Structure 1
């Protein structure tokens, strides 16, 4: 019973983070199941089955709050669903850990770029017209992200979110809402692949139910939160989270000595905190200037 309560709490916070930042539900939930001794394929199958419900709730919530680019959802879901199905079918035979460090390194560098763009290239206009990601780019992005999501127990958000964030003109809340909404198709496709490959017996439905309950409660809260958090702050939060999540894999793979790991984490956290503080100060100064300008006009 205690384990189910823990899973429900994890499901809540995982969906809260995922719905607000566009990533982390699969990574967080799968990591916990693996810690409980569940086989990777079974853990990923259970998480994706729970995501069928949580992503549906999250997508509906984001649509309600106007956080979704429907055109981009359509461009991502088909290749993403195909990639997720193939990844699920071959997970038991493909050692996903081999490519994971390289994906993590790429994402870490992309996280640095996301922070750079939102710090120095950010434009406040929410109505700026932008060119949607071309089909020739959205197809490989969707396929790779879907495949990584199924084989690694999480990867749709960590791959799709930073790539879309790096697209100039697309606001952070639109990116998060679009990625979360399109993830429903990926969860369904991956689940079908797992069930065909492994059968229903590998899925622990009690654990799935606990994850679902926590995630469904968090979904509307996260969709509301992503509208309230300023876009520039959301961008640096997402960028820092990308770096922090992927640093662990990179360090575990290529670290010279494990004694340096806490130091590296400390530097990342301090740098992230400094960036967030800088953005807060910048927004506060900008707000003060706008208020003074309004007073002068008035």
Structure 2
């Protein structure tokens, strides 16, 4: 029995590592957990997009709770920005989840990988051009709606879409990262509920636990790093990794 437990733990180790690294980056930058995990699950492991997105969002119920509490402790949350993103984000996420579960996986997979490739390129450009020209925050509600929809339909994108846009507009970085991360908890609860209703809970176990463990462990460190991280090199590196892994997934799909 002990050997069986050791074997199960060994199988979980890669997912613990992925969850830890992805959440460390996400906590520091306010983005990338979903797109990193979803790119690996869909592009490398060949998992159906709806199942991959469901796994990622179930994991994020735990990681975003830990991250949100950590950002609250670090005083990184802006109340007005949080409330402005909350309802539109949840509505957009729910709509995206329903859409993804109603489409055949073999049809939607190339589009999801294409979307993730564009997100990767977008992050590279944002990283190279960071910081952008300061502007006041605008269109917070529509931004939350679009970000929530793309996050659920693409298995990630809330952070890259919402955080990057607000940072470019000139909002204080730590307030953006903390507020967006806190809203993401409520977004992931809503999206996960839709996925569970549509595809059930049985397929969401296994690697999911490893991602949860790694992500929860890394969340406090990510929130602490939000005040001190060098954004430009990390943002660029994340974009490069996502672009390469997504293109590899496209090549495997059509190769």
Equivalent in the alignment of 1:19: 27
Compared with structure 1, are the counterparts of its residues 103 and 213 closer, same or farther at alpha carbon in structure 2 (3 Å cutoff)? closer
Query: In 1, Cα distance between the equivalents of 2:213 and 2:112?
Result: 32
Query: In 2, Cα distance between the equivalents of 1:102 and 1:198?
Result: 23
- Give the deviation of 1:56 after TM superposition: 0.5
Structure possessing the higher radius of gyration over alpha carbons: 1
**How much is the aligned-residue C-alpha RMSD, in angstroms?**
2.9
TM-score under structure 2 normalisation? Answer: 0.81
Compared with structure 1, are the counterparts of its residues 5 and 228 closer, same or farther at alpha carbon in structure 2 (3 Å cutoff)? same
Query: In 2, Cα distance between the equivalents of 1:250 and 1:13?
Result: 18
Aligned pairs, how many?
A: 238
Compared with structure 1, are the counterparts of its residues 221 and 117 closer, same or farther at alpha carbon in structure 2 (3 Å cutoff)? closer
Equivalent in the alignment of 1:83: 92
- Give the deviation of 1:110 after TM superposition: 7.0
Compared with structure 1, are the counterparts of its residues 211 and 247 closer, same or farther at alpha carbon in structure 2 (3 Å cutoff)? closer
Which of 78, 92, 97 in structure 2 is aligned with 1:69?
78
Equivalent in the alignment of 1:148: 150
**Pairwise mapping of residues 208-227 of structure 1 onto structure 2 (< 5 A)?**
208-227=208-227
Which of 91, 104, 116 in structure 1 is aligned with 2:129?
116
TM-score under structure 1 normalisation? Answer: 0.70
- Give the deviation of 1:177 after TM superposition: 1.6
Q: Is the 8 A contact 2:16 2:210 kept in 1?
A: yes
Q: SS where residue 227 of structure 1 aligns?
A: coil
**Pairwise mapping of residues 238-277 of structure 1 onto structure 2 (< 5 A)?**
239-241=235-237, 243-245=239-241, 247-248=243-244
Compared with structure 1, are the counterparts of its residues 251 and 39 closer, same or farther at alpha carbon in structure 2 (3 Å cutoff)? closer
Equivalent in the alignment of 1:162: 164
Query: In 2, Cα distance between the equivalents of 1:253 and 1:176?
Result: 29
Compared with structure 1, are the counterparts of its residues 237 and 69 closer, same or farther at alpha carbon in structure 2 (3 Å cutoff)? farther
Structure number with the bigger relative contact order (C-alpha 8 A, sep ≥ 6) is 2
